[in-house]
Each structure stands twice: as C-alpha cells, then as structure tokens.
Amino acid sequence: EQEELKVLKDQPTLTNDDYHVELAANIGTPNDLKGVISHGAEGIGLFRTEFLYMNRSDFPTEEEQFKAYQKVLKGMNGKPVVIRTLDIGGDKELPYLKMPKELNPFLGYRAIRLCLDRREIFKTQLRALLRASTYGSLRIMFPMIATIQEFKDAKTLLNDVKQELLDEGIQVSDRIQIGMMVEIPSAALLADQFAKIVDFFSIGTNDLIQYTFAADRMNEHVSYLYQPLNPSLLRLIKLVIDAAHKEGKWVGMCGEMAGDELAVPVLLGLGLDEFSMSATSILKTRKLIKKLNMKDMNKLANKAADQSTTDEVVNLVNDSIK
Ligand code: PEP
Ligand code: MG
C-alpha cells in the first residue's frame, strides 16, 4: 500500500472526472518541511506561527521570524504557502506575556483580538512576513476574525507596514494574497460581505465546530458534540463556499475535518478548493479523491445538507462511496 501511495506523490489531485483540488499541508515549524515535500503536498495551507513564540523567554525578533518564514517560502519552491498570523490565547499561553485571567479563554482575548490591541507585537510579525514575501508565493491569513472591522483593521495595519518597508527601500512582493480564517459563526454568516474584501477563506473547523455547537474542544464530557458532519455545520460551510465563489475567491479548509475520510467526499461536493491537513494524510486523501466523481459528490453534498442528523449524513456518505 505504501508503494501504491508513493506513485501518487508527484501527481496532481484529480477526481475521476478530472476536477482538480489542491491538497496542502499544515505545519508548525520549518522543520516540518521535509515531511511536507516527501508526502507530495501541493502547498502549505496552514503554517501555525505560534511555535516561534513558544518555549522561550521573550518575543522572537523580526529577524528570527523573517528567517523562519523565508526558509519555508524558499523550501516550497514557488508553491503557495499560507502563513497564519499569531493565534495566541485560548489554550495557548506564553510565559513572558501576561494575560488576564479569564472565565472563558476560548471566548476571550486571543489571536487577532490580542494582535489588534498589542500592535507592536503584530507589526513585528507583519514586517517579517512582508520582508520574506519575495522568496516565494506568500499568502497571509488572519485568525479568529469575527467582524468586518477586524479584517479591515488588520489589513490597514498590514498596508501601513508595507508602506513603511517600501519607504525604507525594502522590497515587498505585490502578489501576496490576504485572507482570513472562517472559524467563528459570525464570519461564516457574513461570508458574502467578507468575500468582497478578502482574497481567500480558510475554514478552521476545529474552532468553527466548537463555536457552532458551543462545546469546548478540550472538554471530553462534551466531545460527543464535535460533529463535523452535522448538517448545521455543512450548511455553514456551504454558505461560505458559495459566497466566496460568487466573488471569484477560493476556499480552503485547514481544520482536522479536511483530512477526515468521511468528510472529504462531502467537502469536495460542496466545492471546497483546497484541503489542508497533516502531511501524513495527503497521499491517502489523494487516492480517495481519485476514485470520486465530482457530479456524484455534488449531489451527495446537497443531499447531506438537507438531512437532520449526523448519523443520517454518515449513512449517505457510506452508501455513496461504496
Ligand atoms: C481551526 O480552528 O480549525 C484551526 C485550524 O486552527 P487551530 O486548530 O490552530 O485553532
Ligand atoms: Mg482555530
């Protein structure tokens, strides 16, 4: 089976009726690049930059960050690389960053909320990202966007930083895509408006499920509510994909759901353009997609979104991929 998968390494991801989707990898550090390349990823769909800030006693400098981003962009040799700006807070804490004690950290001061408040932290990262942009195909993504204003504020700051660099005589690519994670229901519901001002969406199902079902993703007592295939979630995803496509924008997914064997046929049918997962899942997902037919998956997806329970969706999927 390993041999069979290896053959797929350098092939594009095509359905049996020749519809192309992109299979990308999630990474946490530049050290993950080797696995990404050996497993035949078509890009990086999520570089979680938190690692750069962890296990140390102070914030990483602009230069340290620049080197890490440059390494990943160079290593991917022109293939797209989505780098997510700092998503600290929630369950992820930094020893050198005093955070207020919160009753609900997952609903609190984290990610873009913190970055828009502590702008000196955010600006350092944005400078490093923009400086690295000339070394490959960079896509910058903001986490935990809940409102249009947050996205606009983040983008304005990014543009200010870009101008600053240009004034200093530092080159910045003018082909950087700027997108956002869709992991909060408010953003999914307003996707038609967001789609006009972003270059792409990446759906973060780990958090989107948590916030849609109001079920803490770390709490085992409510883990039965972690239901990627629940029709409610499928409808939110469909809303996002349809809204984006209407504006000619692409949609990826970088939560665990993107590599879930039962979810892939449905996501394909909903029109998802990019699936980002752990590198080790890529080849088996490519193999699965090669067997699927886009027209059939399209029907499956629409039917799935019309069911009332997760079990019903699971049965539908199992019947259709037999
Ligand atoms: C997500 O929420 O789905 C996601 C990819 O981000 P993280 O798991 O880092 O919160
Ligand atoms: Mg998330």
Report pLDDT digits (tens) over 13-50: 999 999 999 999 999 999 999 999 999 999 999 999 99
Q: Say which DSSP state 231 is in.
A: H
For residue 205, which atom of ligand 1 is closest to its CA? 3
Catalytic residue among 83, 198, 236, 254: 254
Say what the pLDDT of residue 260 is: 98
pLDDT-above-70 percentage for the chain:
100
26 pocket-lining for ligand 1 (C-beta < 6 Å): no
For residue 50, which atom of ligand 1 is closest to its CA? 9
Predicted complex ipTM: 0.99
- Nearest CA to 264 out of 245, 285, 284, 244 is that of 285
207 pocket-lining for ligand 1 (C-beta < 6 Å): yes
Q: Ligand 1: which of 26, 29, 44, 48 to mutate, judged by most atoms within 8 Å of the beta carbon?
A: 48
Report pLDDT digits (tens) over 186-198: 999 999 999 999 9
Say what the pLDDT of residue 99 is: 87
Report pLDDT digits (tens) over 272-306: 999 999 999 999 999 999 999 999 999 999 999 99
Say what the pLDDT of residue 321 is: 86
- 254 a catalytic residue: yes
- pTM (predicted TM-score): 0.97
Cα 294 to Cα 14, 148, 291, distances in angstroms: 10, 33, 10
Mean pLDDT of the chain: 96
For residue 87, which atom of ligand 1 is closest to its CA? 9
Report pLDDT digits (tens) over 61-109: 999 999 999 999 999 999 999 999 999 987 788 999 988 889 999 999 9
Say what the pLDDT of residue 90 is: 77
Neighbouring C-beta atoms of residue 300, cutoff 10 Å = 23
Report pLDDT digits (tens) over 134-155: 999 999 999 999 999 999 999 9
265 pocket-lining for ligand 1 (C-beta < 6 Å): no
> Which residue has 């979104």 as its token pair?
305
Q: What is the DSSP string of 57-117?
A: SSPPPHHHHHHHHHHHHHHTTTSEEEEEPP--BTTB--TTS-----S-GGGSS-HHHHHHH
254 pocket-lining for ligand 1 (C-beta < 6 Å): yes
